[in-house]
């Protein structure tokens, strides 16, 4: 460990870092703009100047940019040197000559890196008397606002957008003091990671347009650590509330999961919490007055649950607590997953693999560090976007590592490394049904039907481990692809295989496992990552309940059935005919949910449940990492409660032993651990509800929170008591412990002098490293030394059938989400429903793009315009999955075009 002397004090720092990183990791306040821990240094802004001295005798020293200078043992530097300080202050003064005087109307104000740095350097009065430069703005879509006057030319936006996220439509234009960061012309930013510009930009050039609709300053938000609800990756987020409405979602750094970045669906898809469509009142249907109060509905439910056969349908988007509370209420044998048999089978297979401990499942950070990636079948760009971003980093980083092995260059030296790497790429094989933006950085791509992709997987596994069976009747193309990919995987030290459930094929899961296990036996540290469908799909699958098909069979002969459906729109997962058949067997249907949907329409009793923002909950992500999401605000409407509270109330009203006390989420997690041993460790996911730091809670509100004595004064001038949160150690006040909270309980990132999101540096052990005290979340499965059991069942090659098509889903980042679609901006970017066929199939059926096509499936006919997909394999028909108004389909079934309206 090198020792460096900063202002004559010795410090031990990590080798291979630059001086800026070293200083920030030591907790020193050194201003910077263009450097970003995820993107390295380019030395563009000249803000992080320090003095370096030759030796102890040197008193003059020289000014260098700390971000461009590596750490050397025995180095003597000065941050406090008068010349260095003056230099930094002059740089800010120069940047401010053109910065507009619009902080009061700028959404960045209060969480602005430029404000922080200006204050830090001490520049306060304007001496420049000439005119300010102005720029025209651009329309960048419904999610991002552009105000180009505020730009300080640090180049972070284009470096993030183009180099890091692989976007193409944002660039820097013009020359000298006129440089312009924007698009070639007005239009929607194409990258699904454009929302990160809001956090990457150190000033207010790019701001959150959804926040603008109900603008609130960072200091006025009631914040809590939450977990993203829109896919299975479980990205960590911070959600903020004001006046009873959720205002924004920002990234919560977790080095193992999302790091610094979120996708646009996760960042902007929060507005369902504020939707008009929310269920706000318990309803008892078929009465003259349907709305009922808490006690009335509990009394009614009590009569429905006693003496009836209780059936509980769980949900992949409800928390572990709620699913477990439902299982406790109805009994393990009566608890079912609200998804189809096919999906349960595939997910069960995944859980079996993970639980067996034969293979390591990588975190997103480990995927970023992989040196070869094989994506087998999963369209991760749409189903797990942040994973696609991680895969891109793996490709870029592998190329950089290869190059810097030959020429010694520090990894943080971004421009030099790029210059050296040129067009070199690490290995990525993207084997999917459809083209994806990832193909551009892929070494190998192949577009095939799921069964053919699985066969390719088995062929690779055979080449890696010849004791595995050969693929029968393999085509030459398949074998050459397989040998290319297997060679690259064999050369890698940490290969990662990615697959998932979106192809509805269990052969894919088995093939991916065979490859990963075969690599692991060849002394590689191979990883196998799975993508699931919903935020708690893994948690529900781990409970190992039966599928919906099983409940339909089981209730067929039962009388007096009361079904309790937990936060699950069954029509989204299961074909309508089956759901209707099930409902017709149920005497009473009790539904707990947050938003009105087709399932809640069928409810006899409808109970308003809390969304993620209004309740605590634990979610298990795709790598079986359990993470706690905390309550952001208590709804003013007391009828809205977490589902597990409603279910525990129902349970205690049934049994006399209950003492009437509310159950805390941590009590439920302890009970879950003892009932289902596969969840061992889940109770450690967050400190218990009675955890205190020096007797104090952790405040959700900043110390500058305003309006305390006025916000409710219109209702009553006497201020109410602050809300009491008994379920966690976070409080609803400004008072409490202001130091570093334990990492699962960080409500917002803030540090004296650092108001913007850049304050995360102060929460990390080292810049870009894990949070102090370890990253939040508990991984439930780890690799053991168990021997793998290979699968030998290889599917036949996919053969198109004349006049019939295999129906498969296409997922859309914007549109396929049940909840994110409530954000207006996301809804406007969602595609219209369509039917997709291959070019040859369309030609043989004499169809053109846009022709209306009807298809009959599950006894229902759908008519949508045709969209010819040139890369789609023949014999496959695609329907967009999960768009509003589109029902669940029998994915993988064969359908025919019933009528063609010409």
Partner 1 sequence: MISHLRTMWLVFIHLFKKKVTIEYPEKRVELPPRWRGRIVLTKDPDGGERCVGCYLCAAACPVDCIALQATETEEGRRYPEFFRINFSRCIFCGYCEEACPTYAIQLIPDFEMAEYKRQDLVYEKEDLLINSQGKYPGYNFYNVAGLDAGVKEKGKGKDEEKPVDVKSLLP
Chain residues in the site for partner 1 (CB under 8 A) = 100-105, 109-110, 130-137, 147, 149, 173-176, 178, 180, 212, 214-217, 219-220, 243, 704-711, 713-714, 716-718
| Least distance between partner 1 and beta carbon 717 (Å) | 5
Q: Which residues pair with 283 in a beta bridge?
A: 291, 606
For 655, residues 6+ apart whose C-beta sits below 8 A from its C-beta are: none
If the CB atoms of residues 245 and 804 are measured against partner 1, the closer one turns out to be: 245
237 and 228 Cβ atoms separated by less than 8 Å: yes
C-alpha 160/C-alpha 793 separation (Å) is 44
The DSSP call for residue 176 is G
| Least distance between partner 1 and beta carbon 174 (Å) | 5
If the CB atoms of residues 100 and 575 are measured against partner 1, the closer one turns out to be: 100
| Least distance between partner 1 and beta carbon 112 (Å) | 13
If the CB atoms of residues 182 and 617 are measured against partner 1, the closer one turns out to be: 182
If the CB atoms of residues 214 and 587 are measured against partner 1, the closer one turns out to be: 214
If the CB atoms of residues 55 and 130 are measured against partner 1, the closer one turns out to be: 130
For 469, residues 6+ apart whose C-beta sits below 8 A from its C-beta are: 458, 462, 792, 794
For 817, residues 6+ apart whose C-beta sits below 8 A from its C-beta are: 230, 231, 265, 269, 826, 882
How many other CB atoms sit within 10 Å of the CB of residue 663?
20
C-alpha 805/C-alpha 777 separation (Å) is 43
C-alpha 489/C-alpha 265 separation (Å) is 32
| Least distance between partner 1 and beta carbon 719 (Å) | 9
882 and 811 Cβ atoms separated by less than 8 Å: yes
| Least distance between partner 1 and beta carbon 143 (Å) | 16
205 and 137 Cβ atoms separated by less than 8 Å: no
Q: Rounded to an integer, what is the distance from CA 241 to the centroid of its chain?
A: 20
If the CB atoms of residues 598 and 704 are measured against partner 1, the closer one turns out to be: 704
If the CB atoms of residues 169 and 766 are measured against partner 1, the closer one turns out to be: 169
The string of DSSP letters for 533-552 reads SSTTHHHHHHTT-B-HHHHH
> How would you classify the pairing of strands 860-869 and 835-838?
parallel
Q: Which of 391, 327, 341, 338 is nearest to 365 (CA)?
A: 391
Element (H, E) at 399: helix 385-406
Helix axes 665-675, 320-330, angle to 10 degrees: 60
* b/e burial code for range 243-253 (CB count within 10 A of at least 16 → b): eeebbbbbbbb
| Least distance between partner 1 and beta carbon 710 (Å) | 4
HSE-up of 615 (CA within 13 Å, CB side)?
A: 28
C-alpha 572/C-alpha 892 separation (Å) is 16
| Least distance between partner 1 and beta carbon 140 (Å) | 15
| Least distance between partner 1 and beta carbon 268 (Å) | 18
If the CB atoms of residues 149 and 889 are measured against partner 1, the closer one turns out to be: 149
| Least distance between partner 1 and beta carbon 297 (Å) | 33
| Least distance between partner 1 and beta carbon 712 (Å) | 8
Q: Which residue has the tokens 């690259």?
A: 488
If the CB atoms of residues 187 and 707 are measured against partner 1, the closer one turns out to be: 707
If the CB atoms of residues 123 and 447 are measured against partner 1, the closer one turns out to be: 123
309 and 560 Cβ atoms separated by less than 8 Å: yes
If the CB atoms of residues 111 and 499 are measured against partner 1, the closer one turns out to be: 111
Q: What angle do CA 89, 90, 96 make, to 5 degrees?
A: 95
If the CB atoms of residues 184 and 333 are measured against partner 1, the closer one turns out to be: 184
Residue 801 φ then ψ, to 5°: -105, 140
Instruction: Kindly give the residue spans of alpha helices, DSSP state H, lying in 749-863.
Output: 824-829, 839-844
If the CB atoms of residues 149 and 857 are measured against partner 1, the closer one turns out to be: 149
| Least distance between partner 1 and beta carbon 399 (Å) | 33
Q: Which residue has the tokens 């509370």?
A: 325
Q: What angle do CA 826, 827, 833 make, to 5 degrees?
A: 125
| Least distance between partner 1 and beta carbon 845 (Å) | 48
R_g of the chain, CA atoms, integer Å = 28
């Amino acid at each position: 460990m090198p020792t460096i002397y900063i202002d004559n004090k010795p410090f031990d720092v990590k080798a291979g870092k630059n001086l800026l990183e070293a200083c920030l990791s030591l907790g020193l306040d050194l201003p910077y703009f263009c450097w970003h821990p995820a993107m390295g240094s380019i030395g563009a802004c000249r803000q992080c100047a320090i003095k370096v001295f030759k030796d102890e005798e040197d008193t003059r020293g020289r000014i260098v940019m700390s971000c461009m200078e590596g750490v050397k043992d025995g180095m003597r530097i000065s941050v406090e040197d008068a010349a260095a300080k003056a230099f930094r202050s002059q740089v800010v003064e120069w940047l401010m000559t053109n910065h507009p005087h619009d902080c009061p109307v700028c959404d960045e104000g209060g969480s602005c890196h430029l404000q922080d740095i200006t204050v830090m350097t001490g520049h306060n009065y304007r001496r420049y008397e000439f005119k300010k430069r102005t720029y025209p703005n651009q329309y960048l879509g419904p999610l991002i606002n552009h105000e180009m006057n505020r730009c300080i030319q640090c180049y972070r936006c284009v470096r993030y957008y183009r180099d890091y996220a692989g976007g193409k439509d944002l660039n820097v234009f013009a020359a000298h003091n006129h440089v312009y960061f924007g698009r070639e012309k007005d239009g929607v930013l194409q990258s699904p990671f454009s929302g990160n510009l809001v956090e990457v930009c150190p000033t207010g050039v790019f701001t959150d347009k959804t926040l603008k609709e109900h603008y609130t300053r960072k200091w006025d938000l009631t914040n809590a650590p939450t977990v993203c609800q829109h896919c299975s990756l479980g990205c960590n987020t911070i959600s903020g509330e004001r006046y009873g409405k959720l205002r924004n979602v920002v990234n919560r750094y977790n080095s193992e999961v999302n790091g610094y970045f979120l996708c646009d669906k996760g960042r902007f898809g929060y507005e369902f919490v504020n939707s008009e469509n929310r269920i706000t009142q318990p309803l008892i249907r078929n009465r003259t007055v349907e709305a009922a109060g808490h006690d009335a509905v509990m009394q009614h439910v009590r009569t429905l649950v006693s003496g009836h056969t209780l059936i509980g349908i769980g949900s992949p988007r409800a928390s572990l607590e709620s699913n477990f509370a439902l299982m406790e209420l109805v009994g393990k044998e009566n608890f079912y997953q609200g998804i189809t048999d096919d999906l349960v089978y595939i997910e069960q297979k995944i859980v079996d693999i993970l639980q067996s401990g034969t293979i390591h499942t990588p975190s997103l950070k480990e995927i970023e560090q992989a040196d070869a990636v094989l994506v087998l079948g999963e369209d991760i760009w749409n189903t797990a976007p942040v994973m696609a971003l991680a895969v891109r980093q793996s490709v870029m980083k592998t190329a950089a590592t290869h190059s810097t092995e030959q020429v010694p260059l520090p990894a943080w030296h971004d421009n030099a490394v790029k210059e050296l790497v040129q067009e070199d790429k690490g290995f990525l094989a993207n084997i999917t049904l459809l083209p994806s933006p990832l193909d551009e950085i892929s070494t190998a791509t192949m577009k095939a039907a799921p069964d053919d992709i699985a066969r390719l997987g088995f062929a690779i596994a055979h080449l890696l481990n010849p004791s595995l069976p050969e693929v029968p009747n393999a085509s030459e193309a398949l074998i050459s692809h397989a040998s290319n990919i297997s060679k690259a995987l064999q050369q890698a030290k940490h290969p990662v295989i990615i697959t998932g459930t979106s192809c509805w094929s269990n052969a894919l899961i088995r093939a991916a496992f065979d490859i990963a296990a075969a690599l692991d036996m060849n002394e590689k540290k191979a990883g196998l990552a799975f993508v699931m469908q919903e935020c708690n799909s893994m948690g529900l699958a781990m409970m190992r309940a039966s599928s919906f098909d099983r409940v339909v069979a089981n209730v067929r002969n039962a009388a007096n059935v009361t079904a309790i459906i937990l936060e699950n729109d069954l029509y989204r997962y299961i074909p309508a005919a089956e759901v209707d058949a099930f409902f017709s067997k149920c005497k009473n249907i009790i539904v707990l949910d947050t938003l009105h949907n087709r399932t809640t329409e069928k409810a006899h009793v409808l109970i308003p449940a809390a969304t993620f923002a209004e309740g605590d909950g634990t979610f298990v992500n795709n790598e079986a990492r359990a993470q706690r999401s905390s309550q952001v605000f208590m709804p003013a409407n007391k009828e809205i409660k977490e589902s597990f509270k409603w279910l525990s109330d129902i349970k205690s009203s049934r049994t006399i032993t209950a003492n009437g006390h509310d159950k805390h989420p941590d009590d439920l997690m302890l009970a879950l651990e003892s009932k289902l041993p596969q969840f061992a460790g889940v109770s450690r996911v967050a400190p218990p509800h009675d955890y205190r730091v020096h007797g104090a809670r952790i405040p959700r509100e900043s110390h500058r929170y305003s309006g305390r004595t006025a916000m409710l004064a219109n209702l009553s001038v006497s201020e109410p008591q602050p809300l009491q949160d008994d379920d966690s150690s976070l409080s609803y006040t400004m008072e409490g412990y202001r130091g570093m909270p334990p990492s699962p309980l960080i409500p917002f990132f803030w540090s004296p002098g650092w108001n913007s999101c850049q304050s995360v540096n102060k929460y990390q052990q080292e810049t870009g490293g894990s949070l102090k005290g370890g990253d939040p979340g508990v991984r439930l499965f780890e690799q053991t030394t168990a021997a793998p059991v290979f699968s030998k069942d290889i599917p036949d090659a996919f053969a198109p059938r004349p006049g019939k098509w295999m129906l498969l889903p296409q997922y859309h980042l914007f549109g396929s989400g049940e909840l994110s679609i409530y954000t207006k901006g996301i809804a406007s970017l969602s595609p219209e429903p369509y039917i997709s066929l291959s070019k040859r199939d369309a030609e043989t059926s004499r169809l053109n793009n846009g022709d209306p096509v009807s298809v009959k499936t599950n006894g229902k006919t759908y008519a949508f315009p045709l969209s010819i997909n040139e890369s789609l394999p023949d014999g496959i028909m695609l329907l967009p999955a999960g768009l509003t108004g589109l029902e669940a389909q029998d994915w993988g079934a064969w359908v025919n075009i019933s009528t063609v309206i010409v």
